[in-house]
Amino acid sequence: MFSFTKEQNIVDISGIKIGGQPGKYPTTLFGGFFFKGEPDFIEAKKHLEMMYKCSKKTGNPAIADFFVRKEEYIEKIIDFIIKNIPKQSPFSIDIIEPDLKIKILKALSEKNLLKRTIYNSIHVGTTEEERKALKKCSPEAAIFVAFNPKDKSPDGKIEVLENGANLLNTGLLGIAKETGIKKILVDTAAMAPGDNSGASIAAIPVIKEEYGFPTGCAIHNVVEKSKWIEDIGFSKKPVDAASNINIPLFGGDFAIYGPAKNSELVFPMVAWQDILVAEYAENYFGVEPVSSHPRRTLLK
Amino acid sequence: MKPETTVIGSYPVKYDNIDLMKSYFEEKEVSWNKYVDDAVNDMVNAGIDIVSSGQTKDPFVHIFMRNIGGCRIRDRAEVVGKVEYKGPITLDEIKYVKSIVPKNTKLVGLITGPYTLAKSCVDLFYNDCKKLSFDLADVLAKEAKNLERYVDLISVDEPFFSVDYPAYAHDLLEKIFDDIKIQKRLHVCGDVSSIVPELLEMPVNILSHEFKASPNLFDSFKEYDLSKNICLGSVRSDDKRVESVEEISRHLKKGIDIFGEKIVQLSPDCGLRMMPRSSAFQKLANLVRAGEKIYG
């Protein structure tokens, strides 16, 4: 259990508060949509409703993370967001291709959605053109992926935030300053199994103590790539979901937990861990959980 | 005897960051070989006799501090515990270089000197530069031994000697080179005119300095009996202007006047990392041509 000496930064993104001392706010859960193939909006609507229902039940905030793979999907996905994400609620846009990222920033700006947008993500592959686009169309918040190809340890993650590990002319935090993005979420960059994957968890308290930024990761990706699990009955899905409890256990603030269809497994597991952390944090450190915390909503 | 052309160490690199990020998203191992390929192929194509790995992955201090126990890199290189050898540092890269160069191409193994490492980092543990330098020298001695089997020459790079020469410099070098049987070179860039006698006592075969940017060094060395061979810095590493073959030839003639047959290597003044790649390549190519013109 942790309590940090560094003052913790709590960001408020369209009413969802992320960050703070462990035990204060419940872990925010990012559920993913449209990872593969043609976007299936009927299925997505079902999963979105299920995710929000789980969130309402546990008190863990839910944020829909939309994976956009092709330009032709931009308009349709934005239309889906407008129709199905509650007004004022945040969502995140998850894109790999730099050109596509620039195009969606423009589209979100035109639809006045940037105030609700979490940009997923800024990293060493963020181009000069993308930086210019981010300056022009600044999203409300951004996830900074602290992936350092030279050093996957917690120190390496700090190096890339600070100075870009000599791969960029500035660190990722320099990009935040340059683009005017003030609400910073740090993703500690979960690696493949055996490739220092545990460092993404170990880095959470290191980064929170160093900077106080809300911190989390997509630790479930490590399970996703652990082929050996597939040989053991039905274990993959529950192990994938359970991996997320490492994040609150190590003082983290958010989990990017993979497909939103896994919400019914993920939310109760994380809520259970949040309760455990909050109990200890309150008894030992005097940190009181907010009224929406699972400790308050589920333990009557 | 005709001197061999060589390099001091680093070579320009342009990273493909999008490709590096793709390796993360696709959870594939990051490979730095293509950057080594670019650097080494340029050196070979320019006609350089003794090539390095190009030190493309990291700047010369970080290469070592990233891989030594008790050290870490955050905003800067930091020492946070007792410095210890964790395993080979540059060996895999030099083995890779050996696998891609033509058989007659020689290799130089590069070691950033312990004093330069100690002076370049934030020392949060020793608070004693001498002690830290000697512990680093212990680690670097093991690295030198690792490299010995695969390279033709080991070069220790100690730029800090020219700005703040420590009384124990000789002992540091001795610690690293004590058990090394192949050719040993010390490179100190900057103005070394005030420490020439000390440099001439170093336990190395070859001294390497930036004679092109600091031509006053010719006069400084002229005053002493030369007990060492010389690697003559002959093109600048801080100016992207490419020196012509004629200009380099004039420089070599001046060097021959002072050092005669003691010149055994021709090189750039220092690492070329900060140069545009096209300038770096052309500087090397012109250096080779000037060497051929003067020495045949």
Three-state DSSP class for residue A137: coil
Do residue B15 and residue A195 have CB atoms under 8 angstroms apart?
A: no
| Residue-wise DSSP of B225-241 | ---SEEEEEEE-SS--S
Looking at CA atoms only, how far is residue B263 from chain A in angstroms? 35
Do residue A155 and residue B72 have CB atoms under 8 angstroms apart?
A: yes
CB-CB neighbors (< 8 A) of B62 in chain A: 166
On the question of pLDDT at B291 being above 90, the answer is yes
pLDDT in tens, A174-196: 999 999 999 999 999 999 888 88
Do residue B66 and residue A150 have CB atoms under 8 angstroms apart?
A: yes
The number of C-beta contacts closer than 8 angstroms across A and B is: 59
Do residue A191 and residue B27 have CB atoms under 8 angstroms apart?
A: yes
For residue A99, the model assigns a pLDDT of 96
Measuring CA to CA, which residue among A182, A234, A172 is closest to residue A207?
A: A172
CB-CB neighbors (< 8 A) of A124 in chain B: 17, 20-21
CA B207, CA A70: separation in Å to the nearest integer?
Answer: 58
pLDDT in tens, B67-120: 999 999 999 999 999 999 999 999 999 999 999 999 999 999 999 999 999 999
On the question of pLDDT at B151 being above 80, the answer is yes
Nearest to A124 among B17, B66, B75 (CB): B17
For residue B1, the model assigns a pLDDT of 84
Looking at CA atoms only, how far is residue B77 from chain A in angstroms? 10
Which residue is closest to B30 within chain A, CA to CA? A149
On the question of pLDDT at B282 being above 90, the answer is yes
Q: Which residues of chain A have pLDDT under 70?
A: 300
Which residue is closest to B78 within chain A, CA to CA? A155
With a CB cutoff of 8 Å and minimum separation 6, the contacts of A166 are: B58, B59, B62
On the question of pLDDT at B132 being above 80, the answer is yes
Q: Which two tokens stand for residue B165?
A: 């020469």
Do residue B27 and residue A147 have CB atoms under 8 angstroms apart?
A: no
Looking at CA atoms only, how far is residue B25 from chain A in angstroms? 8
Which residue is closest to A162 within chain B, CA to CA? B75
Measuring CA to CA, which residue among B202, B136, B153 is closest to residue B9?
A: B153
Measuring CA to CA, which residue among A248, A242, A239 is closest to residue A294?
A: A248
pLDDT band at B263 (very low <50, low <70, confident <90, very high): very high
CA B243, CA B238: separation in Å to the nearest integer?
Answer: 12
For residue B238, the model assigns a pLDDT of 96
On the question of pLDDT at B252 being above 90, the answer is yes
Residue B27 CB-density burial (10 A; 0-12 exposed, 13-18 middle, 19+ buried): middle
- Strands of B77-85's sheet in order across: B68-73, B77-85, B122-123
The whole-number average pLDDT for the span B125-139 is 98
Which residue is closest to B80 within chain A, CA to CA? A155
CA B72, CA A155: separation in Å to the nearest integer?
Answer: 7
CB-CB neighbors (< 8 A) of A225 in chain B: 27
Do residue A96 and residue B21 have CB atoms under 8 angstroms apart?
A: yes
Interface test mutation site (partner A, options B74, B78, B122, B273, max chain A beta carbons within 10 A): B74
User: In the Cβ-directed half-sphere of B252, how many Cα atoms lie within 13 Å?
Assistant: 30
Which residue is closest to B21 within chain A, CA to CA? A125
Do residue A149 and residue B25 have CB atoms under 8 angstroms apart?
A: no
Q: What is the DSSP letter of A234?
A: T
Q: Are strands A183-187 and B68-73 parallel, antiparallel or unpaired?
A: unpaired
For residue B111, the model assigns a pLDDT of 98
CA A85, CA A92: separation in Å to the nearest integer?
Answer: 11
pLDDT band at B28 (very low <50, low <70, confident <90, very high): confident
Helix ranges (DSSP H) in A69-179: 74-84, 98-110, 128-136, 154-163, 172-179
pLDDT band at B27 (very low <50, low <70, confident <90, very high): confident
For residue A225, the model assigns a pLDDT of 84
Nearest to A159 among B24, B27, B74 (CB): B74
Spatial contact of B205 and B184, defined as CB atoms under 8 Å apart: yes
Which residue is closest to B57 within chain A, CA to CA? A150
Do residue B75 and residue A168 have CB atoms under 8 angstroms apart?
A: no
Interface residue ranges in chain B relative to chain A, Cβ cutoff 8 Å: 15, 17-18, 20-25, 27-30, 57-59, 62, 66, 72-75
B99-118 exposure pattern, b = at least 16 Cβ within 10 A, e = fewer? eebeeebebbbbbbbbbbbb
Do residue A149 and residue B20 have CB atoms under 8 angstroms apart?
A: yes
CB-CB neighbors (< 8 A) of A171 in chain B: 75
Do residue B58 and residue A149 have CB atoms under 8 angstroms apart?
A: no
Cα torsion through A32, A107, A176, A254, rounded to 10: -20
Query: Which residue in this structure is represented by tokens 């192949």?
Result: B182
